Amino acid sequence: MARYSSTLVAAVGLNPAKVFQTFCALVAAPQEKLSIDRLDLIGTKRSWEVFSAQLTTFTAGLDQAARHYHVPPPVLRFHLLWDRQSAHPITDLHTTEHHVAAWRQVFDIVESLVSQSDLVIGTFPGARKALTQAMILAFQLLARPRDRLVQVIVPNACAARLPAPASLAKYRMRALISDLPFLRVRELPATLRALDLDTLIAAVQPRLDDQSGPTLEFRVDATDTVLSVAVGNRILWPNHLGIRLRRRDLALWLYLARLRQLHGRQPPAYTPSSLESAFSEILPHYPPAPGPKPSQSAQQPLYPMNASTLRRAVALAPCPCCFREASELSAFVPERDRDLPDEYVRQAMSRIKRALVEFGLPMSQVDAIRFRGAGVRPNTAYGLHLDPNSILIRQIRS
């Protein structure tokens, strides 16, 4: 397989002159110092018909321009877009099927050129918007740091038609070359072969999920002593930022994180009777259910236990499998503070929150990473709201 130094791949429309001007602008610009070894054109059947009608003038102009600017003439290829369902060339991009087929072919072409060329430059002189979008998307997925998307703008007087090869020496073109910024996503968690239209969302989703909330990672030794805490692959503790956390706070945080990591493994079986018993103490704190209040003379509760109240209680109540009341966390509370365990746990919660804020996390992530209270006082329990899949606990062997 031949190896090329620079390749220009162009999604084309119905004006060969614009492609010619793009080639000339790139090889003529002193700041570019480019030698385009290969020119790949991608277009529909209509584009191919226009280029075929002017192919002699077009290729002769490229050869003459190469000699004029002292660069080798490029290898020219035209890639005709095909409708894969009908096995016919696509005349124009009208349907969803045409767009999908065009994008797949543009992707395959750009992928091949990236593997064969040290530098790939993409452009779309006069191409339809759908084909332009396909070229941009292919570069977003495949381009390396050195690959480029460019746009060449020339005065209207120069854009009308191809110059005759004999008059090329007198052909003067004032062109503006613009590099178009785009997002390179080659680091996506999928192989290049897997990045087709069907799996694009699946490839992007893990990255989006990673951005929605960082991971919380504890490293512990054989005795379950916390050695380090990392948030989103950054070391929170110990570090050189002056952020201090008490080891007792870290142990409490680790305990609640481990409970949260096991969340949902054994979901509790709630029934209306068990809910009524579990929430009988906190229901008086809720507003009454819609409708007239029952009279006291009827000796009915002021806030009746109904389906709406039960759903609200369940939504606001702490999860019984991974939240714990302060009295259940006495092992992490110093003996002198065990008379008021809730106060000490809240102080530990505040210290961790302050450390995460000093660490530079936004409040939305701080509230997900730290442990915090849930429920209605005095029936408050503490735990993590973080996605269990985002919690990592690694044991380090000495």
The pLDDT tens digits for 256-301 are 999 999 887 655 444 444 545 545 544 454 444 444 444 444 444 4
pLDDT given for residue 298 in this prediction? 44
Q: How far is CA 161 from CA 18, 19, 152, 164, 171, in A?
A: 8, 11, 16, 9, 12
CA angle 279, 284, 289 (to 5 degrees): 95
Mean pLDDT of the chain: 79
pLDDT given for residue 271 in this prediction? 44
Query: Predicted confidence band at 206 (pLDDT cuts at 50, 70, 90)?
Result: very low
pLDDT given for residue 165 in this prediction? 57
Residue 13 has pLDDT above 60, yes or no: yes
Residue 306 has pLDDT above 70, yes or no: no
pLDDT given for residue 375 in this prediction? 73
Work out the average pLDDT over 147-161.
76
Identify the weakest region by mean pLDDT among 1-10, 56-65, 165-174, 341-350.
Answer: 165-174
Nearest to 43 by CA among 82, 76, 8, 17: 82
Bigger pLDDT: 85 vs 394 = 394
**Using CB atoms within 10 A of its CB, is residue 106 exposed (0-12), middle (13-18) or buried (19+)?**
buried
Residue 190 has pLDDT above 70, yes or no: no
Alpha-carbon distance of 236 to 357, in angstroms, equals: 11
Helix H or strand E segment including 396? none
Work out the average pLDDT over 50-67.
90
**Using CB atoms within 10 A of its CB, is residue 146 exposed (0-12), middle (13-18) or buried (19+)?**
exposed
Query: Predicted confidence band at 207 (pLDDT cuts at 50, 70, 90)?
Result: very low
pLDDT given for residue 266 in this prediction? 54
pLDDT given for residue 173 in this prediction? 63
* pLDDT per position as a tens digit, 358-382: 888 888 788 889 998 887 666 788 9
Query: Predicted confidence band at 357 (pLDDT cuts at 50, 70, 90)?
Result: confident
Nearest to 92 by CA among 54, 55, 49, 124: 49
In percent, the amount of the chain with pLDDT more than 90 equals 34
Amino acid at position 301, single letter: P
pLDDT given for residue 243 in this prediction? 78
Task: Tell whether omega for the bond before 378 is within 30 degrees of 0, i.e. cis.
Answer: yes
Query: Predicted confidence band at 316 (pLDDT cuts at 50, 70, 90)?
Result: low
Residue 28 has pLDDT above 70, yes or no: yes
pLDDT given for residue 312 in this prediction? 54
Query: Predicted confidence band at 253 (pLDDT cuts at 50, 70, 90)?
Result: very high
Alpha-carbon distance of 57 to 168, in angstroms, equals: 12
pLDDT given for residue 347 in this prediction? 92
Alpha-carbon distance of 266 to 60, in angstroms, equals: 75
Residue 303 has pLDDT above 50, yes or no: no
